[in-house]
Chain A
Amino acid sequence: MRILVQEQPFDYGAEASDFAAGRHDMGAIVTFTGVVRDVDGGLNAMEIEHYPGMTEKALEKIASEAMERWSLGDALVIHRHGRLEKGEQIMMVATAARHRKDAFEAAEFLMDYLKSRAPFWKKEHTGESAGWVAARDADETALDRW
């Protein structure tokens, strides 16, 4: 299990290759990456604030739960903070399991939980203004299925 909280960009391809390397016992690797998308009015930048210390702790707790629940061989979470431009990769998760169903489900669980249980906050900078992204009710209800 590997958790990285960092300001600098990461290489999605290299991380995915490293994660998959040497896993002869795992038949399924799922990776997901989240990208800064443009918004109406044009996004200049996305700023991500986090709570150092609690962030790592929360991500470790979420990833440990996924490891146990789906008997994963391994899990990876990378999440960036600071100022990001549109098109940049914000975060990625990867899961390795014997079969694809477990790998897909665990990756979705990780995404659902880190969206509303890991202390990150997004602020969008558009043309002349900046505003904090509001949490969506759908993100909270997404947790109910787990």
Chain B
Amino acid sequence: MQVLYFAWVRERIGLAKETLDTQAGTVMELVDELRAREDRYAAAFEDLAALRVAVDQDLVDFDAALNGAREVAFFPPMTGG
């Protein structure tokens, strides 16, 4: 699975993209897995209210299922326009 990070999430983790081998069944399980990896992940995922998530390029909630997802992206609330 490809995991993408944007804006300050990308800066905090120090990566724009990585490939993960995960058994996580939901976004929340994936977040917990990432949090346990290293401090920089724990810091980036500290406050989920400040984050948004997309699965296969659709915005979803953190309790969304990952069944067969190819791409998960984490980012702050969007500021377009």
Contacts and interface: CB of A to CB of B under 8 A. Distances in A.
Interface in A127-146: 132-135, 139-140
Contact of B6 (A51, A133, A140): A51
Interface stretch (B19-27, B38-46, B70-78): B70-78
Interface in B16-68: 54, 57-59
**Interface of A (DSSP majority class):** mixed
Nearest to B54: A54
Interface of B: 4, 6-8, 54, 57-59, 73, 75-81
Interface of A: 34, 48-51, 53-54, 57-58, 79, 90-91, 111, 114-123, 132-135, 139-140
A-B residue pairs, 6 tightest by C-beta: A120-B80, A135-B77, A115-B81, A54-B57, A121-B7, A118-B80
